[in-house]
Amino acid sequence: MQRYFVDFNENEKYFKITGDDFHHIKNVMRMKINDEIYVSNQTVVFYAKISDIDADYVLCEILSQVKTNSELPIKISIAQGLPKADKFEFVIQKLTELGVSEIIPVLSERSIIKLDNKKEDKKLTRYNKIAKEAAEQSHRVKIPNITEIMSVKELIKYSENYKYKLFAYEASNETDLIYFKHVLKEIKTNENILVFIGPEGGISEKEVELFKNNEFRVISLGKRILRTETAPLYVASVISYELETRG
């Protein structure tokens, strides 16, 4: 059954779907009156049925609430040093599927791409579309937040409300690997964790010191060197597994 994210009041019986989702329902899926869908307002999920199809909207009726537990018990924010465009789009899609709450694109010292304001707005629109589609496909209740593109200094300022702040560094050692294990055992339901992953060129020595001086802890992701698009998926998978399989 198709799932859509719609801004609606769950206390009202009817709501409208417009825009791209209207086009998808009418022209791609070719749905008819009385066809049923899932809808989420990013808080709860409902069964709904199509009551009417107009020229520019679909009118839906709420049927019943769906009991679902597809969100992670903690907030995971992944800050990704911006790689080439197709790699970052892949990262957004897969992190969404893995249950990450927030994705923060970061223009770090060794990021290959450069953006002007016009390109940045266009990129963010596309990033959000990818996240929405991936959230629908993976039956998320919420679409992960894609923040504005930040510098490393802006990320450090943004991180002030996080209890656990980490960055993955390939020059780290066995102690750093053990620390990551300890964090996963310590973190509790409803807490938050922020992890920074460097771009293709890695994290500069200057950035390493900047992170360390602002309460970020370095972690190792194992004995192998991971690509920039692999590392965030590893981090999200490990955290998800640890938190969702606790007895």
| Domains of the chain, each with CATH number or no CATH | 3-66 (2.40.240.20), 75-244 (3.40.1280.10)
- Please state, in angstroms and rounded to a whole number, the distance separating the CA atoms of residues 119 and 175: 41
- Per-residue pLDDT at 62 exceeds 90: yes
Mean pLDDT of 128-146: 96
Query: Do 167 and 155 contact (CB within 8 A), yes or no?
Result: no
* The pLDDT of residue 173 is above 70: no
Has residue 172 got a pLDDT over 70? no
Query: Which of 135-149, 164-178, 180-194, 228-242 has the least mean pLDDT?
Result: 164-178
- pLDDT digit string, tens, across residues 67-109: 888 899 999 999 999 988 789 999 999 999 999 999 999 999 8
Region 50-78: mean pLDDT is 93
pLDDT, residue 220, reads 85
First-residue to last-residue Cα distance in the chain: 32
Q: At residue 126, does pLDDT exceed 60?
A: yes
Report the relative pairing of strands 58-66 and 14-17 from DSSP bridges. antiparallel
Mean pLDDT score of the chain: 91
On the question of pLDDT at 171 being above 70, the answer is no
| DSSP category for residue 43 | S
In the predicted structure, residue 112 carries a pLDDT above the cut 80: no
